[in-house]
Amino acid sequence: MEMQEMGRLEKRPERDEHPLTRRDIEKEIQFERLKKMESDELARRKMEDALLIERMKALEKEREEKERERKIREKVQAEIAQKEKDEMERLQKEAKLKASAIEEYKKKEAERLAKQKEEAEKAKKEFNDKVNQLLCSAGFSEDKITAIMQGKPLKEMELVHVEKHVHHGKHRQIEDEEAFVKVHRRYLEPRTLDAFSLIWEFDPNDADYMLIYHSLSQEEQDRLFDHTRKLRGQRTLTASPHNGPVTVEMKVNDKKRDGFYLVRKKQDRRSLFW
């Protein structure tokens, strides 16, 4: 339509050879004005179209920028969500491993304690058996051994009275009365008496006692007890001397439970034997 109008404007009336009249000049001026107006309108329209195109381009660019930002934002959010998911999975895995490690530790600890208890019971049994054997070899009765093993306080474990006896020894061919010593065999080994070449015999009335036909000093007594102690393996058997009938008290040192031995209560240093 615009092209048609421009075509019409361009078709000016052909000039004849006649001179221009005032009317012709006015028409020519109007034609020029219309032509300029059409040119300005066309320019305006072109400018508006250009502006519209630029605006559309700006809008498209803005849309693309927003779309790019949206994609970046979604990507960042997806990465954050993935990291959170990975962290959650890691924590859950660590929790499972920790729980498994704790369970394994509890299991091993229970096994260790059970083994430790078993070993302790075994060691205790071996210790008790050894102590029982030592006490039996020392001449303790079953009741007293049981009392010792149970830790009952016993002020006097065993008492033996060593008395003065008068013997008419026919085999010694001695006419006068002579004193001899009567000692329980738990305190002295017959082998000890034989080792020191002492004359002795078992009491005919009680085989648990031995009769020694010698007068012994305190030093000699100590040597006899020391010899018996070595024979029996670190079991100390000594006695406290007394002017009259002598009492030998046997006690147990149980502070560390690392062994048993017998001790002599110290009084005076007079002889044990008569």
pLDDT tens-place string over residues 87-100: 999 999 999 999 99
What 3 state SS string does the chain have?
CHHHHHHHHHCCCCCCCCCCCHHHHHHHHHHHHHHHHHHHHHHHHHHHHHHHHHHHHHHHHHHHHHHHHHHHHHHHHHHHHHHHHHHHHHHHHHHHHHHHHHHHHHHHHHHHHHHHHHHHHHHHHHHHHHHHHHHHHCCCCHHHHHHHHCCCCCCCCCCCEECEEEECCCCCCCCCCEEEEEEECCCCCHHHHHHCCCCEEEECCEEEEEEECCCCCHHHHHHHHHHHHHHHCCCCCCCCCCCCCEECCCCCCCCCCCCCCCCCCCCCCCCCCC
Q: Is the pTM of this model over 0.75?
A: no
Asked if residue 79 has pLDDT above 90, the reply is yes
Confidence category of residue 77, pLDDT binned at 50, 70, 90? very high
Confidence category of residue 70, pLDDT binned at 50, 70, 90? very high
Which range, of 6-20, 99-113, 195-209, averages the lowest pLDDT?
Answer: 6-20
CA dist 138 and 160 (Å) reads 13
Domain boundary assignment for the chain: 181-238
C-alpha distances (whole Å) from 261 to each of 24, 37, 127, 257 are 160, 141, 14, 11
CA dist 223 and 229 (Å) reads 10
Length of the chain: 274
pLDDT tens-place string over residues 224-257: 989 998 988 754 444 444 444 444 444 444 444 4
Q: Summarize the confidence of residues 211-229 as an average pLDDT.
A: 86
Per cent of the chain over pLDDT 70 is: 65
- Give the per-residue pLDDT at 253: 44
Calculate ∠ Cα 207-210-213, nearest 5°: 145
CA 122 to chain centre: 23
- Give the per-residue pLDDT at 22: 81
- Give the per-residue pLDDT at 244: 43
- Give the per-residue pLDDT at 156: 38
Asked if residue 60 has pLDDT above 90, the reply is yes
